[in-house]
Amino acid sequence: MAIAYCLFTIASLSGCKIHYSFNGASIPPEAKTVSVQYFQNNASLAPPTLSQIFTEALRDRLSSQTRLGLVNKGGDLNFEGSVTSYTTAPISLQSNDQSASNRLTITVNVKYTCTFDEKKNFEQSFSRFADYPSTQSLTTVEEQLIKDINEQLVQDIFNRALNDW
């Protein structure tokens, strides 16, 4: 009798359309694919490789943390946009009016489309920054700063699109 009850409970729960994942992603169960279009570089001071690095980081996150297949175009979920700003500026001054540290800020505009639920669609700018000492030139720390900022941007975009945050 206990076995029959357990089998009945499992069978009745298997019809539910609740999707759980270990990373908290809330993906429509009918979604099978995701596409990430190349993010154009519209920021005048950004290095030429920034768009490629950002696009690949977003693709990597989606393929490693979801069950979705990555396709070039027309995914059930689609991400597109551009890098809109890449700036560096002093953030703190010392007593001699020299900068103690600088801040690199990257902004991307993202358009997200979910073919199964138009309410989840959005177009939004995401901006993140990283600070570095003024004793270092941007060129010596730029690669690591871009990696760190991209990681934060990709997480923000992932959370906004797939975690309902």
Structure tokens at 82: 């551009």
Helix (DSSP H) and strand (DSSP E) numbers for the chain: 3, 6
pLDDT score of 24 = 52
Chain-centre distance of CA 87, in angstroms? Answer: 20
pLDDT at res. 16: 36
The pLDDT value given to residue 92 = 77
Sorted by where each starts, the structural domains of the chain and their CATH numbers stand as 2-162 (3.30.160.150)
pLDDT of residue 23: 45
Those residues with Cβ within 8 angstroms of residue 1's Cβ, 6 or more apart along the chain or in another chain: none
Give pLDDT, residue 14: 40
Low pLDDT (below 50) residues in the chain:
4-23
Summarize pLDDT for 117-134 with one digit per residue, the tens: 899 999 999 999 999 998
Q: What pLDDT, on a 0 to 100 scale, did the predictor assign at position 85?
A: 98
Confidence at residue 28, expressed as pLDDT on a 0 to 100 scale = 85
Tokens standing for residue 30? 């009918």
For tokens 């943390």, name the residue: 65
Residue 74's H or E segment, with its range, is: none
At residue 161, the pLDDT reads 95
Strands 33-36 and 77-93: parallel
